[in-house]
Amino acid sequence: MLYQLYETQRALISPFAEFANASAKLYSHPLSPFTHVPLADRIAAGFDLMHRLSKEYEKPEFGITSVKVDGVEVAVQEQVAVSKPFCKLKRFKRFTDNVEALAKMKRQPTVLVVAPLSGHHATLLRDTVGMLLTGHKVYITDWVDARMVPVSEGPFHLDDYVEYVQEFIRHIGPHVHVMSVCQPTVPVLAAISLMASRGEQTPRTMTMMGGPIDARKSPTAVNNLAMTRSYEWFESNLIYRVPPNYPGAGRRVYPGFLQYTGFVAMNPDRHLSSHYDYFLDLVRGDEDSVEAHRRFYDEYNAVLDMPAEYYLDTIKTVFQDFALVNGTWRVRGELVRPQDIKTTALLTIEGELDDISGAGQTRAAHDLCTGIPKKEQPHYTVEGAGHYGIFSGRRWREKVYPVVREFIARHEK
């Protein structure tokens, strides 16, 4: 019922959002006579802000059409390498007529970026992909909004997530380097552990960034909520069925709009201040700051529904039973044994100020992967970085990426 009420509210607000957008242009367009009325700049800014607060945000595009490889501009094309009901494995194929650059690109390492399925789209890692493309062949998991997946495709559990990761690794090949950001650190470690236990070839490296390998360490507000509420509470209060106006009608999901509410509630003052600054930047005509705000919130406000089974499995397995670190996690009946990994090097990365995955949560992977030689298990804490700073923005580009690049290069030989 809550989901249907939300959809009704969204339908009612939509015309007002369009009205606000048109009004903002009416008071700001240079050819409009209304730009000359008193306080026109503030009226236009107010309508613009109203539009952005009430509009619906669609899934953004990666928008990566070219990158520079050793100073040479090369074209980039998105391709779907593997299509699954709940995920598309995307490849960013690079093209150039420069013979030397082409030869170099063919020799560069291949990286599989496993994006989080935790509310936002994989495009949140646009900056991650963009930097990696300057020196690597890149694939990424592009998770599908659960409301767009028909019920006939069946449920999607945490076990399915693990199997998807394994299938993608096999598709690319054992020469791949796997990078997991936030939530997928846990299922990625499980996927590679199970492959090692079966005697399969495992990836050359795995880089784990800001994930809840052991959520008991330095628990954050996110961890505390998951640990203090019962499984039944999450199922009763956060799970709803998709309304009839979507392909996934009737599917049980954790709706994106509820997740978004939780995101904002974690730092309400910060978001309020950001929107007020946006209003002032519009009035001042500071186009650079205005565009930066729009880019961030176009991404931040675009959320997806998560399959209920997967979300509830994650709550129980990762945040309540701590099954991975306790050695009790079974995937399709197989025990997850990280100690069986022997030939895959491990790099863990944490942000000093991460308020999503606290200090030590990702680093805990080293205590589990005892089969990997210690010299092949570096750790890096990014000073001054929050959760997003370890994979996006200046700190990612200037501090984290060089560490990742060197780690991968060292194990490519």
368/258: higher pLDDT: 368
What DSSP state is assigned to residue 266?
H
- Cα distances (angstroms) measured from residue 83 to each of 88, 90, 193, 334, 336: 5, 9, 24, 26, 26
User: 84 in helix, strand or coil?
Assistant: strand
**Cβ atoms 302, 120 nearer than 8 A:** yes
The set of residues, in sequence order, having a beta carbon less than 8 Å from that of 62 and lying 6+ positions away, is: 78, 92, 123, 126, 129
Percentage above 70 pLDDT, the chain: 100
Rounded distance, CA 115 to CA 161, Å?
A: 11
- Residue 221 has what pLDDT? 80
pTM of structure: 0.92
Q: What is the DSSP string of 329-373?
A: -EETTEEP-GGG--SSEEEEEEETT-SSS-TTTTTTHHHH-TTS-
Domains of the chain: 2-56+256-300 (no CATH), 66-234+305-410 (3.40.50.1820)
* Residue predicted with more confidence, 240 or 31: 240
Number of CB atoms found within 10 A of residue 271's CB: 15
| Type of residue numbered 104 | K
* Rounded Cα–Cα distance for residues 7 and 12 (Å): 9
Neighbours of 183 (CB within 10 A): 22
Check residue 196 and give its pLDDT.
Answer: 98
247: DSSP letter: T
Distance of alpha carbon 176 from alpha carbon 171, whole angstroms: 10
Instruction: Please check the confidence at residue 406 and state whether its pLDDT lies above 90.
Output: yes
44-63 mean pLDDT: 89
pLDDT per residue as tens digits for the range 121-162: 999 999 999 999 999 999 999 999 999 999 999 999 999 999
* Structure confidence at residue 77 as a pLDDT band (50, 70, 90): very high
State how far the Cα of 100 lies from the Cα of 112, in Å rounded to an integer: 25
Distance separating alpha carbons of residues 45 and 40, to the nearest angstrom: 8
Element (H, E) at 178: strand 177-181
